[in-house]
Amino acid sequence: GDQAKDRNLEVFRTVIEVLRAGGCLGFAPEGVSRFLPYMEQPFKTGVARIALEAVRQSTEAGDADFKVNVVPVGLAFTHREKFRSDLCMSYCKPIVVDAAYAARFGDSFEAAKALTCRLSADLEAVTINAPDWGVIRCGITAARLHQAADSQLTLKQYL
């Protein structure tokens, strides 16, 4: 309701202030955390809207060089359901959001939509996504069958 909307706006204001002050933040653009074999789609546009608004406010305040680097980070666990499971973090190239980026689009809605699509594509490339857990188990089994008997798979190879 209205209370949730007010809290959301307050979070946006605070996060934008942190970015404008040079801070670094982490977000889950899916907007949810679920135990699924794929990323929940479509992504929420909050990350993009926050980055674009921070750039807009900074530009209006006279800082034409202000930018936000959105760095997609893919997470892949060996056993997500187990506490302290091994984790592989894959960092993508930063997506630079600045006044020039925002100017390429007709309006902020289109810019946010494009940035969210890019973020989704980058994360899709560095995470494990399958229609169900059975497909993932088959892939892991195939990797184990094809490894030499006297070798160990690295975490990256396993994932």
Distances (CA, A) of 51 to 78, 92, 111, 143: 32, 17, 10, 39
What is the pLDDT at residue 59? 96
Query: In angstroms, what CA-CA distances link 10 with 13, 18, 43, 70?
Result: 5, 12, 21, 21
Alpha carbon distance 34, 11 (integer Å): 22
- Asked if pLDDT for residue 33 goes beyond 70, the answer is no
The pLDDT confidence band at residue 29, using thresholds 50, 70 and 90, is low
Instruction: Give the residue among 54, 71, 32 at the shortest CA–CA distance from 108.
Output: 54
pLDDT bin (cut points 50, 70, 90) of residue 49 is very high
pLDDT attached to residue 122: 92
> What does 101-117 look like in DSSP terms, one character per residue?
HHHTSSSHHHHHHHHHH
Lowest mean pLDDT among 18-22, 50-54, 55-59, 129-133: 129-133
pLDDT digits (tens, 9 = 90+) for 122-141: 988 888 777 887 887 787 78
pLDDT greater than 80 at residue 110: yes
Claim: this prediction has a pTM higher than 0.85: no
Residue 32 CA to residue 34 CA, distance in Å, equals 6
CA nearest 54: which of 105, 121, 112, 8? 112
What's the rounded Cα separation, in Å, for the pair 86 and 81?
11
Give me the percent of the chain exceeding a pLDDT of 70.
87
Per-residue pLDDT at 2: 81
pLDDT of residue 58: 97
- What is the pLDDT at residue 153? 67
Q: Is a pLDDT exceeding 80 seen at residue 57? A: yes
